[in-house]
């Protein structure tokens, strides 16, 4: 009863309050309210005073927020930057043949020793540097940002997906947030990112996480929800606790879907890299941007190709691993 009362009355009250506030704060409101009745011209064109001062609120709020909590963001900034730099340094110090060998070895074992995929990925990796010697270090820079970004996605995304699958209320609360994250243009969160973390790799990681985490959350949730109810019941009937059920049955069976989520996450993160170059993130993306600025078709195409190659390499690695699990987990006929 009280809940219904609240929904019926609070929303209209908030709406009216917003109208009054926007009217009062507007500089172009008529001299008196009476004018609205005597001069109905405001009904033809959208009146200047009918305007929520959202921009002002957000800007003021953000300013205060930045002043008060900016120091915490610096800590996060230092930590992430340190992680990226050390990963990058490690990969750049290694001789390039060693890196290629490393990639080949990872693919070989994660794909279940499939020779075709391994050779293909090895050639793709070689071609990144082969396209332009400058690309090798840039690709490593991009990959470092992505690896850190994807790790953060996994740390946030999988527990969130699990929470969603367990509780309808949590799901109903998180779903609109995911929709928001997927539809809001990336520049909208790149700007506050720059203001909090400055230009460079860290806001790019934040943007990457916002952009790439939704599919992982959704697919984790879906994967767990899709696990055969009879299998879950079987675990329950033997007295499995929630934790035993989750770790022993639900997660292993949802793993193909979760791997698909990580794969999607990787692809979206890579797409974000090009956009992030506009806020000064170094990597393959800024070559594309440079090509665009100089109207150099060849340069932009070369850099674009390098990104595609990098995408193929990362996609094969994550796909191959997911497929291997899926083959084993094929449900009983």
Partner 1 sequence: MSKIEVSNIYKIFGPRAEQVLPMVKGGASKEKVMEETGHTVGLDNVSLSIEEGEIFVCMGLSGSGKSTLIRHINRLIDPTAGEVLVNNVDVCSLDEKEILDFRKKTMSMVFQRFGLFPHKTIIENVAYGLEIQEMPEDQRLEIAQGQISAVGLDGFEHQYPAQLSGGMQQRVGLARALATDPEILLMDEAFSALDPLIRSEMQNQLVDLQAKLKKTIVFITHDLDESLKLGDHIGILNGGRLVQVGKPEDIILNPADDYVKAFVKDVNRSKVLRARTIMTKLEKFDKSSVNPSTLYKYDEDTYIEDLVPKVLKERSTIEVIDKEGTTTGFITSEELSVALTKTK
> By the criterion CB under 8 A, which residues form the site for partner 1?
228, 230-231, 233-241, 244, 248-249, 252-253, 328-333
**68 vs 330, beta carbon nearer partner 1:** 330
**CA-closest candidate to residue 217, choices 249, 189, 246, 176:** 176
Given a contact cutoff of 8 angstroms between Cβ atoms, the answer to whether 331 and 228 are in contact is yes
CB nearer to partner 1: pick between 101 and 231: 231
Pick the closer one to partner 1 by CB: 244 or 296: 244
* Dihedral of the alpha carbons of 176, 182, 187, 192, in degrees to the nearest 10: 40
Closest C-alpha among 81, 64, 63 to residue 198: 81
Look-up: residue for tokens 């990112």?
A: 193
User: CB of residue 220 vs partner 1: minimum separation in angstroms?
Assistant: 17
Structure tokens at 67: 């002043």
Give the nearer residue to partner 1 in terms of CB position, either 68 or 243: 243
Helices (H), 26-132: 34-38, 54-93, 96-110, 115-131
Contact 119, 183 (CB under 8 A): no
Contact 218, 157 (CB under 8 A): no
Task: Using the minimum distance from each CB to partner 1, give the nearer residue, 21 or 234.
Answer: 234
Q: How far is the CB of 244 from partner 1 (least distance, A)?
A: 6
Q: Tell me which residue of 179, 207, 172, 171 sits closest to 281, measured CA to CA.
A: 207
Nearest approach, Cβ of 123 to partner 1 (angstroms)? 34
Q: Rounded to whole angstroms, how far apart are CA atoms 207 and 198?
A: 13
Say what the alpha-carbon torsion angle 36, 41, 43, 46 is, to the nearest 10 degrees: -100
CB of 234: closest distance to partner 1 in angstroms?
4
Q: How far is the CB of 226 from partner 1 (least distance, A)?
A: 13
For partner 1, which is the closer residue by CB, 185 or 332?
332
Instruction: Give me the least distance between CB of 236 and partner 1, in Å please.
Output: 6
CA–CA gap between residue 139 and residue 144 (Å, rounded): 9
* Angle (nearest 5°) at CA 269 between 265 and 274: 160
Least Cβ distance, residue 240 to partner 1 (angstroms)? 5
Q: Which is nearer to partner 1, 172 or 294 (CB)?
A: 172
Contacts of 107 (CB under 8 A, 6+ apart): 117, 118, 121, 122, 316, 317, 320
CB of 255 to partner 1, least distance (A): 8
Cα(first)–Cα(last) distance of the chain, in Å?
49
Tokens of 181: 């994250």
Q: How far is the CB of 65 from partner 1 (least distance, A)?
A: 41
**198: DSSP letter:** -
Indicate the residue among 131 and 232 with the shorter CB distance to partner 1. 232
In angstroms, the CA 186 to CA 196 distance is 16
Closest CB to partner 1 among residues 217, 235: 235
């Amino acid at each position: 009863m009280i809940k219904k009362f609240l929904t019926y009355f609070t929303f209209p009250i908030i709406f009216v309050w917003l109208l009054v506030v926007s009217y009062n704060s507007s500089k172009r409101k008529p001299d008196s309210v009476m004018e609205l009745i005597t001069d109905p011209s405001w009904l033809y064109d959208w009146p200047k005073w009918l305007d929520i001062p959202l921009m002002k609120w957000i800007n003021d709020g953000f300013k205060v927020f930045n002043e008060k909590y900016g120091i915490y963001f610096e800590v996060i900034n230092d930590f992430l930057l340190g992680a990226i730099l050390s990963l990058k340094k490690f990969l750049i110090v290694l001789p390039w043949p060693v890196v290629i060998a490393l990639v080949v070895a990872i693919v070989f074992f994660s794909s279940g020793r499939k020779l075709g995929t391994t050779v293909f990925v090895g050639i793709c990796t070689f071609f990144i540097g082969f396209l332009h010697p400058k690309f090798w270090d840039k690709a490593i820079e991009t990959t470092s940002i992505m690896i850190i970004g994807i790790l953060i996605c996994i740390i946030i995304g999988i527990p969130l997906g699990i929470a969603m699958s367990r509780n309808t209320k949590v799901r109903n609360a998180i779903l609109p947030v995911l929709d928001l994250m997927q539809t809001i243009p990336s520049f909208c969160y790149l700007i506050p990112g720059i203001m909090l973390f400055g230009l460079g790799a860290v806001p790019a990681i934040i943007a990457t996480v916002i952009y790439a985490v939704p599919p992982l959350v959704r697919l984790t949730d879906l994967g767990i929800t899709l696990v055969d109810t009879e299998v879950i019941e079987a675990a329950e009937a033997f007295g499995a606790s929630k934790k035993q059920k989750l770790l022993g049955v639900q997660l292993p069976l949802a793993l193909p879907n979760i791997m698909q989520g990580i794969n999607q996450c990787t692809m979206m993160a890579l797409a974000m890299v090009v956009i992030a170059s506009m806020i000064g993130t170094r990597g393959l993306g800024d070559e594309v941007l440079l090509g665009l600025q100089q109207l150099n078709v060849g340069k932009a195409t070369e850099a674009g190709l390098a990104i595609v190659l990098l995408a193929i390499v990362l996609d094969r690695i994550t796909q191959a691993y997911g497929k291997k699990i899926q083959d084993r987990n094929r449900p009983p006929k």
